[in-house]
Amino acid sequence: MTPAGILETAIYARDLDAAEAFYGGLLALERIARVEDRHVFYKCGDGVLLVFNPDETVKPPAPRSLPVPPHGATGDGHVCFRASEAEIDRWKAHFAEAGIEIESEFEWPQGGRSIYLRDPAGNSVEFANPSIWGL
């Protein structure tokens, strides 16, 4: 058996208000849920972007709550959003208008292009043409 795809991608941010301003505001992702200072979840195409506060997700679940095991990460994470070449150009203009610096931009040797920037938590956020993976 082979998985059909990735349903969720998780990144970690201690300041969920700043994360919400970035992912829900700047990127205009549709918010699915927010639980106080624990997490905020977004719909993104056929998948879901999960933004967790790592200080909260390392705690074991409370009695009678969902039995999700503790988890978390330290350091900068990474998420890559699918974008056509034209969309990458539009994202670059959008970020420039918002005063967000593009950290890196390049053409991949096998084809396709990526741009990289940082979210407020320091996570690496990439927008890339799927052709970088032969998709």
The answer to the question of residue 6 being in a domain is yes
- Which of 57-66, 94-103, 121-130 has the least mean pLDDT? 57-66
**pTM for this structure?**
0.94
**Separation of alpha carbons 81 and 97, rounded Å:** 19
Q: Are residues 55 and 80 in the same domain?
A: no
Give me the number of domains the chain comprises.
2
**Separation of alpha carbons 61 and 67, rounded Å:** 6
**Separation of alpha carbons 81 and 77, rounded Å:** 14
**Separation of alpha carbons 115 and 84, rounded Å:** 12
The answer to the question of residue 65 being in a domain is no
**Residue 18 near residue 27 (C-beta atoms within 8 A):** no
pLDDT digits (tens, 9 = 90+) for 29-72: 999 999 999 999 999 999 999 999 999 999 998 888 888 899 98
Its domain, for residue 87, covers: 76-135
pLDDT score at 74: 86
pLDDT digits (tens, 9 = 90+) for 72-87: 888 899 999 999 999 9
The answer to the question of residue 66 being in a domain is no
pLDDT digits (tens, 9 = 90+) for 10-27: 999 999 999 999 999 999
Quick check: helix, strand or coil at residue 43?
strand
The answer to the question of residue 26 being in a domain is yes
Quick check: helix, strand or coil at residue 77?
coil
**Can you list the pairs that 129-134 forms with residues at least 24 positions away whose Cβ atoms lie under 8 Å?**
129/82, 129/83, 129/84, 129/85, 129/88, 130/82, 132/108, 134/110
Q: What is the mean pLDDT of the chain?
A: 95
Q: Are residues 47 and 102 in the same domain?
A: no
**Separation of alpha carbons 78 and 124, rounded Å:** 5
Confidence of residue 4 (pLDDT cuts 50, 70, 90): confident
pLDDT score at 53: 97
Question: Tokens standing for 7?
Answer: 């349903």
Domain CATH code at residue 42: 3.10.180.10
